[in-house]
Amino acid sequence: MARQRALRQGAQFDAMSPILSLEFLLLAALWGASFLFTRLGAAELGALPTAGMRVTLAALFLLPVFLVKGVWADFRAHAKGILFMGLFNSGLPFALYAFAVLHITTGLSSILNATVPLSGALVAWLWLKDRPTSSRMLGLAIGFAGVTLLVVGKSGFSASGLASQGDSTTTLLAMGACLLATLSYGLAASFTKKYLTGVHPLATATGSQIGAALGLAIPTLWLWPSQPISPTAWGALAAVGLLCTSIAYILFFHIIEKAGPSRALTVTFLVPVFALCYGAVLLGEVITPWMIGCGVVIVCGTALSTGLLKVRWLEPRAN
């Protein structure tokens, strides 16, 4: 019976795989566009107000999910942990990326964002003592080598018209902000695994946006620009909050439910492809061979570190 049930489930998954493939592409396209919309919004509002508006709009849009059975109960039972986690899962990284895209290209920011699973694996190892296999440790080494190469080759990566080519300090700060954001994501993931396991994912997604909105409320109001905001910036804020955050979260958790977390992580590898294309076509950003090469190294290392790829001779043999 169990074998027949597994076969039926496998057949069901195979039948849905074209739909899941489209969902993967849509999610990657939405998250890839988040760098573009963040750049357009932050250019007028600044980093903190842009991040604050992003999570506020996302939280408001997601509020109706509390009507789903079990979501509100789970949120009430774990409200403190969910709200706190939201600062590290949304508030801080969104603000850091909003700062970064003002000084480096959106494509470069997206490549550094691809190290999120890498940071997650490292944090889980140090905090949760989730020691990676030899194959995954090799992936960590390769991934961080790719990041190092990308940082070393920083010259000429400044965003056109926003930072001078020689402003290497600002460029380094922006790249460091991206890496700090991925570390924040990693901390949030381990915190969720340690304290929020079993909580309804929609309660976590919605509550985290509420927590981030509350955490960024005062900086957003304090730093709100005095000049009028253009329709372009308002449109970018609406898009990044509603499309790239709230709808993307719902889509992401749907993919996890249907395909599992390991396969859902592969969307991280597609995000830079879309972000690079958006930046090149709509912002006139230059895609250099060095960026592409380092991006490939980072993606390969991340795939190894998350177990999506394995080096058989480094894996422990089953007895």
Q: Tens-of-pLDDT digits for all 319 residues of the chain?
A: 433 444 344 444 343 467 877 888 899 999 999 999 999 999 999 999 999 999 999 999 999 999 999 999 999 999 999 999 999 999 999 999 999 999 999 988 998 998 888 888 888 888 988 877 787 788 888 888 888 888 777 544 444 444 444 467 888 899 999 999 999 999 998 998 899 988 998 999 999 999 999 999 999 999 999 999 999 999 999 999 999 999 998 888 878 777 766 567 778 888 888 998 999 899 898 888 888 888 888 888 878 877 777 766 666 655 5
Q: What would the 3-class secondary structure string for the chain be?
A: CHHHHHHHHHHHHHHHHHHHHHHHHHHHHHHHHHHHHHHHHHHHHCHHHHHHHHHHHHHHHHHHHHHCCCHHHHHHHCHHHHHHHHHHHHHHHHHHHHHHCCCECHHHHHHHHCCHHHHHHHHHHHHCCCCCCHHHHHHHHHHHHHHHHHHHCCCCCECCCCCCCCCHHHHHHHHHHHHHHHHHHHHHHHHHHHHCCCCCHHHHHHHHHHHHHHHHHHHHHHCCCCCCCCHHHHHHHHHHHHHHHHHHHHHHHHHHHHHCHHHHCCHHHHHHHHHHHHHHHHCCCCCCHHHHHHHHHHHHHHHHHCCCCCCHHHCCCCC
